[in-house]
Structure 1
């Protein structure tokens, strides 16, 4: 995937060109762009419209109709909470409230540090193990608030760079 704040014009142009003549090309093009860029850049909409002989409004209508398409870059990790009935019956609403409070964001938003994007999803097919979430491409079942906190801690743990401390340590040894 490319830089989260910049999209690759050459890749998008190539995807549009390679798929524009296939029947029902709109969805494959949108999926291809989102798969490579992480989102469908608004500046790509006129390119898609022109290639498919559609209006910008028609392209935008398809993007806004399907919840899975994003028009802004996602965070480093995408967290989706299942909102289907089975997960709701097993505590997803309480989990949802906890996740929003923990990340300090609502659905379809990204944390200020660009680490997490939170999205609702309607059934992950993991009903017997609800409440379920998907983090990036991994589905996790029986998620409690503690289990979610552990997942977030794991994903945000970064090794400390101790290199700047080495000269200080060497001076103390001398």
Structure 2
């Protein structure tokens, strides 16, 4: 069965459940991403039809909000904090290291599908800047070395 065939009933159910809510597009997009991990491109026509919108309108919202993904996420998502406190404590240098180490930029997934990299604008861990989150675990005072050690441990436990 194709990916479209496996996701189609799920997407149709989400659309049917939420289409009558005021401002239904965002709840539908969140529902699909929360369920599937991303919003497959082949769902856009169904969403548009269900809400009497154009495909361009739906695609425009998906591409405007960085939260929404149109590709499957990695097994683990790394969120790097980009808030002021983390920036003041070296987050930019950490970001450069992480991108180099993983070979990807923000909103991308490693070729092996292990990691996705996403920016976040505060993890609430300002006293321990710079911070990152992998899965549900938050890490503080992250350095290039501690990042490398953390992803090595994360890969081993995955």
TM over 0.5: yes
- The worse-fitting range, judged by mean Cα deviation, of 125-134 and 86-95 is 125-134
> 1:60-99, CA deviations, whole angstroms, 9 ceiling, x for partnerless residues?
1111111100011111111111112211101101111111
Residue 172 (structure 1) aligns with: none
Q: Which blocks of at least 5 consecutive residues in structure 2 are unaligned? A: none
Q: Is 1:54 matched with 2:59?
A: no
Q: What is the rounded CA distance, in whole Å, between the counterparts of 1:103 and 1:111 in structure 2?
A: 7
Q: Which blocks of at least 5 consecutive residues in structure 1 are unaligned? A: 160-174
Q: What is the rounded CA distance, in whole Å, between the counterparts of 1:28 and 1:137 in structure 2?
A: 23
TM-score (norm 2): 0.90
The secondary structure found in structure 1 opposite 2:34 is helix
Alignment of 1:36-55 (within 5 A): 36-55=35-54
The secondary structure found in structure 2 opposite 1:120 is strand
Task: Compute the displacement of 1:158 (Å).
Answer: 5.7
Q: What is the rounded CA distance, in whole Å, between the counterparts of 1:113 and 1:158 in structure 2?
A: 16
Q: Which has the larger radius of gyration?
A: 1
User: CA separation of 1:92/1:41 partners in 2, compared to 1, >3 Å: closer, same or farther?
Assistant: same
Q: What is the rounded CA distance, in whole Å, between the counterparts of 1:130 and 1:112 in structure 2?
A: 29
Residue 112 (structure 2) aligns with: 113
C-alpha RMSD of matched pairs (Å) = 1.7
Task: Compute the displacement of 1:11 (Å).
Answer: 1.1
Moved over 3 A (4+): none
> 1:20-72, CA deviations, whole angstroms, 9 ceiling, x for partnerless residues?
11111111111110011110111111111111111111111111111100011
